[in-house]
Amino acid sequence: MQLRVGMVGYAFMGAAHSQAWRTVNRVFDLPARARMALICGRDAGKVSEAADRLGWDASTTDWRDLVTRDDIDVVDVCTPGDSHAEIALAALAAGKHVLCEKPLANTVSEARAMAAAAAAAQAVGVRSMCGFNYRRVPAVAMMRQLIADGRLGVVRHVRATYLQDWIVDPQFPLVWRLQKDRAGSGALGDIGAHIIDLTQFVTGQLISGVSAVTETFVRERPLPAGSSGLAASVDGDGHHPSVGPVTVDDAAVFVARLDGGALATYEASRFATGRKNALRVEINGSLGSVVFDLERLNELEFYDATRPTAEQGFSRILVTEGEHPYMSAWWPPGHIIGYEHSFTHQMRDFIEAVATGVDPTPSFSDALQVQLVLDAVTRSAELGSSWADVEPALVTATA
């Protein structure tokens, strides 16, 4: 069985997804094979070049054609958040399985519409998934399993940060990720969304309310000479015609309650000097604790309080054994994997779900739940940190 993939977007996420589509069937034994059929971008020359470099059979500039073509089975949405809803809805309407990058959308209403459409499509065997790829890091999957198995007892504390520092320099230009109309929000939606999803995933609990503070430390930045995500840079002669306003948050911090009774703190920032991709999560339960750090993603620290007191300690588990999630397909123990492997694992699970006719997770509904938390954070911050409840995402399939 072959799944012909059409991907929209070819920047950072597009490259990461390409590497994963290219690799997944070489490493995992799966009931279907992905074919990198078609890639779509706005600039014909650049997307053609990308197709050649990344290994896609063909390229196009017309995403509406891509999502409706008969020779495409899967649509992979890797564009900025402002176009997710339109593309994904069209693809679902055309009966394509959809993998959509996170955050699902830039607004709750868009996300709600997408979740409803996905629920409707599901009824006719069309699958959809949101790309919270970190769920597929083996150590994260293991963390979830330990908690599900009761190894942590009652979860008391969640402590989650996602820290980066790529815009500390006030001269870093005003790329699309700093513009609300394109990105929806700043650190909050870009990286905060990851720790919201990840902590809900591993604990099996939902955030029920938040109190938040957000900040934009640098409110005006040089306009980019030509921006393409993180790679944007000052033009050759250092001259910028003008500056523009930063319309998203640089950082967001919030306290939260989870519906299972835990207290939580969250922080997402692009101003944490020295922290490059520091997604760190610690969870304390009545019987144990776990700690994860994305910059050392092959490791999981596990504290088992049921062991004899004198021997208790945080164990640094190298999550590279055949017994660990996803790892039997890779190298011998101790031979580490990298960031990109989380995407390969995501594609593995997506392909398997589609080929075997089950719904992959996280669903669009799961992703809507994240969107509702993002929305609560924004509301709380706007209302002077007052408590904002998070409503549960009750999704009804679109008629």
Chain residues 33-72 in contact with a second copy, contact rule CB under 8 A: 53-55
Segment interacting with a second copy (CB under 8 A) among 100-108, 181-189, 200-208, 325-333:
325-333
| Residues facing 42 on adjacent strands | none
Minimum distance of a second copy from residue 278's CB (angstroms): 7
CA dist 7 → 32, 50, 110, 161 (Å): 18, 12, 21, 31
Residue from 59, 60, 128, 161 in contact with a second copy (CB under 8 A): 161
CA dist 255 → 27, 346, 376 (Å): 41, 30, 12
Kindly tell me which residue out of 149, 241, 309, 394 binds a second copy, with binding defined by CB under 8 A. Answer: 309
In whole angstroms, how close is the CB of 186 to a second copy at the nearest point? 13
Which residues, numbered 167-186, are part of the site for a second copy (CB under 8 A)?
168
Q: What residues from 269 to 288 belong to the interface with a second copy (CB under 8 A)?
A: 269, 271-278, 284-288
**Within positions 81 to 100, which residues make up the interface with a second copy, using CB under 8 A?**
none
Distance of CA 230 to the CA centre of its chain: 16
- Of positions 2, 12, 150, 391, contacts a second copy by CB under 8 A: 12
Catalogue the E-assigned strands of the chain.
Answer: 2-8, 33-40, 58-60, 74-77, 97-101, 128-131, 155-163, 207-215, 220-222, 243-245, 251-258, 263-269, 278-285, 288-293, 299-304, 314-318, 388-389
Least CB distance to a second copy at residue 111 (A): 25
If binding is defined by CB under 8 A, does position 260 make contact with a second copy?
no
DSSP 192: I
Q: Using the rule CB under 8 A, is 384 a contact of a second copy?
A: yes
Tokens of 127: 């699958």
Among 212, 281, 368, 376, binds a second copy (CB under 8 A): 212
To the nearest whole angstrom, how small is the minimum distance from the Cβ of residue 323 to a second copy?
A: 4
Residue 164 or 363 having the CB closest to a second copy: 164
Residue 76 CB, nearest approach to a second copy (Å): 16
Report whether the peptide linkage leading into residue 241 is cis, meaning its omega lies within 30 degrees of zero: no
Determine if 312 is a binding residue for a second copy (CB under 8 A).
Answer: yes
User: Do residues 158 and 263 lie in contact, with contact meaning Cβ atoms separated by under 8 Å?
Assistant: yes
C-alpha span between 180 and 201 (Å, rounded): 27
Nearer residue to a second copy within complex by CB, 86 or 217: 217
Q: What is the DSSP letter of 278?
A: E
